[in-house]
Amino acid sequence: MIVDRARIEEALPGYELGAELGRGAFGLVIAARHRQLARDVAIKVLGRPGDSVEESRFRAEARVLSDLDHPHVVRLYDYVEHGGLFLLVMERLSGGSLVLDRVRPEYACALGLAVADALEAAHRLRVLHRDVKPDNLLFAGDGTVKVTDFGIAKIVEGTTAASSSFVGSPVYMAPEQAALGRLGPATDLYSLSVVLYQLLTGRPLFPAELPPPAMLLAHLSQEPPPMPDVAARVGGVVLRGLAKDIDDRQPTARSYALDLASAAAESFGGDWLARAGLPVRVDEEVRDAARATRSFGTTVGRRLPDWPWGLPPARLDEVLPVAPSRTRAAARPAVTDLPPVKEQRSRTLVTTPAPEWLLRRRAPRFRGRAPAIGAALLGAVLAAVVVGLGVSTFDTGPAVVPGPAGVVASGRSLYVSDPAHSQVRRFDSGRVSRAGGTVVAGSGRDGFSGDGGRAVDAELSEPGPLAVDGDGNLYIADVGNRRIRKVGTDGRISTVLGGGSRALSSRLDASQVRLTQPFSIAVSGQGVLWVAEQQRNRIGRVKPDGTVEAYVGTGQPGFGGDGLYASWALLNAPTAVALNPSGDRLYVADQGNRRIREVRVGSGFIRTHAGDGTSGPFKNNVQATTVGLSSVYALAATADGSVYLGGTDARRIDSQGFVHPVAGLRTISLAVTADGTIYLVAEQENGSGDRVHRLYRRSPSGALFRLPW
């Protein structure tokens, strides 16, 4: 290709262009230097502007690199479109690309850790590289290896992760890529294993002189030659990564890195990483595995109990149903082949009504007990509105008398939301009454106003779930306004999520998001906010800087993903979230799937914590994963590893996974204090047949008291 350098200089006036560094089908790379910053860069120039496919890939690479902030991924400084030119400005890597000679095994394993950790970061963002090879493994001046060229990376959207076109390099291509089959994290791990095989043995996996069709056939049908001159444990990790069946490989890049790190430690000693001669920047979990010298046995030909929480890996086709792979005689069941969940309505599977306080739209107009005809009319209108939103259907039976909705404990204070009066009150935990306490948010008028001012002067609309962070800031699910509001310790209120026009997804600012109905919220001690979006089948995370991430769920209803990344999993109408006090475990009431899911916040893995997928009753003194699960409206998690469930009744799952009774009350919200006191908001019928919300306290001894609300 011929590129007018003057046009590039016009597009990038702050840079001084240098020599050409390389070229290929994508275009070319030119050295440059930022004049004011004195920073050396590489400018990647699209070779075929006007080709919609190539332009789309170029933009996709820019998006991927902008989100990937990892020490072993090439850094993107800028993306520019100007006068028909498409330019990526990246860090210049002066150390050249990986040379496939035999190297010291410690060096090869260290490189494998670095690349696997970089792939983990990409996979967590639902990005598959699809072209891991030596030419795309470059070195910085200090010897740090960097994964580059995400030009054909696949950004997995919804439930699709299949090869729709033949892309990649035949020498390093996974069998499922060659067969245009189902892809997943293990696809990139196969390519990495091809690289490591040659670094460790000094010979290619299959003869390099094979023509492309024969090379692809070899990947599809020939078993890898043995590695007798390589440490058995290390060789076992690599050979497992070269399994023909994607389900027989390590399921994630993190599990690959942990397996390789522990294998190298066993084979070469606990200080092997320091002797590798390669800078490796990985987290402490991988470093700890690299220091361990305990024997785990060989990995060849069988699955090891080394998956998250000791569980076998979930099959990716349970998460991402696509066309059958041509590498198999028959496809495994996809999500659409699984037994249907009962009570399917529209695209969202909803098995239980929402908490009843959500029915009281504009409730301040009805003080005390609402007239029967008014309540019936209100219920009918609301049912029609909610069904139109695709949430659920409700009967228009007995009236709901205004009462508490959300409750959260913090120190000696108890916060209670009162949607009927559009307020949130704070009580001393020993003195709770409807007329008492201190109003901390809400003027008593239903509406939306007040951001930036005093919280007590602001207007709220149906305030519901509550949460408090480690600094004492109060978070309110302002359900009627489809926002999450924050009351700071200075008493001023602001919106921290919602009010925008876009659906919750990654790469957004919190102010751009439009929430549907935030059924539940949780917040860490550091102010990281979690929100359950039932209608969108996702759990969102908001960082203190205001950036949003769709952390759990693809957005499509269904069940799948246990043992894999939470962002790849399928949820079905999540109704509640809870975070343990240390902030490293997130629990999700996956209501449509009749399960409680647990997410390890650090690694991002998900598993089932309770429920077997069937509808209750939830039994006591049994393992929580072996029984059915009924309605769950609220969750709470404590430092001793217990998880409390509020729904048809209230129960506790202890740290060993056994179920215990808490209270036989239909519970819509609950909070647990450090001393074991439990506060519950229960929905009951009064003598007139109306449903009322009442507040209860259960002492650590088990005594249950109704509080005067």
Q: Which residues are catalytic?
A: 131
Buried b (16+ CB within 10 A) or exposed e, 353-389: bbbbbbbbbebbebeeebeeeebeebbeebbeebeee
Could you give the CA distance from residue 436 to residue 561 in angstroms, rounded to a whole number? 47
Contact (Cβ atoms closer than 8 angstroms) between residue 45 and residue 89: no
Binding residues for ATP: 44
Contact (Cβ atoms closer than 8 angstroms) between residue 55 and residue 91: no
Residue type, 147: V
- Helices 105-124 and 253-268, axial angle in degrees (round to 10): 160
List, in order, residues 6 or more apart from 96 with CB less than 8 Å away: 138, 139
List, in order, residues 6 or more apart from 458 with CB less than 8 Å away: 441, 442, 443, 449, 450, 451, 485, 493
**Per-residue DSSP letter, 15:** E
Could you give the CA distance from residue 466 to residue 677 in angstroms, rounded to a whole number? 18
Could you give the CA distance from residue 547 to residue 533 in angstroms, rounded to a whole number? 17
Neighbours of 350 (CB within 10 A): 23
Neighbours of 431 (CB within 10 A): 11
C-alpha distances in angstroms, 166 versus 175, 180, 328? 12, 7, 18
Is residue 499 left, alpha or beta, with left meaning phi > 0 and alpha meaning psi from -120 to 50?
left
CA-angle at 203, arms to 200 and 204, nearest 5°: 105
